[in-house]
Structure formats: C-alpha cells, structure tokens
C-alpha cells in the first residue's frame, strides 16, 4: 500500500483494497475509512477523487448529524440548555484541559489577543443583554426564564461599604421592600454609635440620615424583648 519513489512516500491501493474502498466510500465518512485503512483523511479524499467516486449526501448528512448529537451529549451541551448542569466527567475533563498546556483559550490569547478580547467583549455584551431582559421581566411580574441571581439595586463599592459599616455601628437601614423611597435612607436611635465624620461621609455618598420614628422603635423593642425571652 506504500511505496517509495525518489525518497518520497506514496500510497496506492491493491485491487482487493480498491474494491473495498469503492464499496465503502459512498456511505462512510472519510474519518471512518481512514481509521480502517490506516490513512489520513486527506489521502482518503485524494483516492476518492482520483477514482471518480462521490458520496451519498443523504447517508453522509445523517451520519454527521448523529455524530454531532453524540458529541453534544458527551460534552453536556443539552444538559446545560436544560439547566441540569454538566456531567461530572465533562467538568473533570474541562479542569484538566484548563490546567494543561492544551487550553484553547490560553492559546488563543497568546496567538491572537485581538480575537480573544473581541470574544470576551461579545460574551459580556450578551450577558448584559440577558440580565437587562431578566430585570425587565421581573419588573413586569413575569416568569423568569433563567436562574440568574439579580440584585434589586446596584450600589457602588463605597455605598456598599458604608451600608455594612452603618449596620455594624448600630444604624438601621431603610426597608425598601415596604417603601421604595427608603433605598438610600439610614436611621439612627439611642443605641447607635453616632460619629459626625462618618455621618458626613454617608451623606456625601447619597444617603439620608433620619431619626428612627416612634412606631419603629416600639416594634424594635418588642423584637428585642422577644429575643431576650
């Protein structure tokens, strides 16, 4: 099947192999024939072209679809679309590939940085569009299509810090679940460790300081007495 001419390796088919090749070529993929004969797909394609053979389009298309479905099942594509998560073997294989030198993303970043950053910009834009769509559905009281954890409000890093620090000092955050206007309202009472500089920084970051109204004080005292009991 292989002969050398002037130091070059050339492949040929014996009459028996050619007969088998002619019977298999129309209804089998080049990859299957290459594995059977021990050749590469390019050599199989060259033999088919030189012999004037053609593929059966319907049979080859059905085989390609079947192989694609099998690959999707093995890689957990359908499971991810059904929100079932990836199979454990796929997760372990992905972790091994990420740690090895055969990581396709790492190779793309080294070989073509522009394509790598363009891909991540596109992924980021799709993610933002999905979050925007889910927030719109939540505002209109419609059923969610994904399981994204969407925060109701976006606070800046400084605002988040001052909110937690205010809670630690004994301040009381406004309950925006009952009143949407209390999103940036912080209350103080007798047990609060008040500090003028801290309160000034809170107001600079968009919060409003108020004294806790009497009904809320009574409600908090009642909760505290219940906790003590």
Provide the whole-model pTM. Answer: 0.35
Tell me the domain boundaries of the chain.
2-55, 157-228
Instruction: Outline where DSSP puts E strands in the chain.
Output: 2-5, 8-11, 172-173, 185-188, 208-211
H or E, element range at 175: none
**pLDDT tens readout for residues 91-128:** 787 777 767 766 777 778 888 889 889 999 999 999 88
H or E, element range at 56: none
**pLDDT tens readout for residues 44-98:** 888 888 888 888 888 888 888 888 888 877 777 766 666 666 677 777 877 777 6
Closest CA to 156 of 209, 207, 208: 207
pLDDT score for 4: 46
- Write the DSSP string, 122-148: HHHHHHHHHHHHHHHHHHTTPPPSS--
């Amino acid at each position: 099947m292989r002969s050398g001419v002037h130091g070059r390796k050339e492949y040929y088919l014996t009459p028996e192999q050619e007969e088998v090749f002619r019977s298999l070529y129309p209804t089998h993929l080049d990859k299957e024939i290459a594995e059977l004969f021990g050749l590469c797909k390019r050599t199989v394609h060259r033999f088919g072209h030189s012999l004037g053979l053609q593929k059966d389009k319907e049979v080859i298309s059905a085989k390609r679809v079947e192989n694609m479905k099998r690959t999707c099942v093995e890689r957990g594509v359908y499971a991810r679309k059904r929100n079932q998560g990836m199979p454990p073997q796929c997760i372990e294989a992905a972790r091994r590939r990420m740690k090895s030198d055969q990581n396709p993303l790492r190779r793309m970043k080294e070989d073509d940085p522009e394509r790598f950053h363009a891909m991540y910009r596109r992924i980021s834009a799709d993610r933002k569009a999905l979050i925007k769509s889910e927030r719109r559905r939540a505002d209109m009281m419609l059923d969610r299509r994904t399981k994204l954890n969407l925060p109701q409000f976006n606070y800046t890093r400084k605002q988040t810090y001052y909110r937690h620090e205010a809670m630690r000092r004994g301040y009381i955050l406004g309950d925006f679940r009952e009143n949407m206007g209390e999103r940036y309202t912080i209350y103080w009472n007798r047990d609060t460790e008040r500090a003028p500089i801290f309160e000034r920084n809170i107001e600079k970051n968009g919060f409003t300081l108020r004294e806790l109204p009497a009904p809320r004080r009574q409600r908090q005292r009642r909760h505290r007495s219940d906790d003590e009991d």
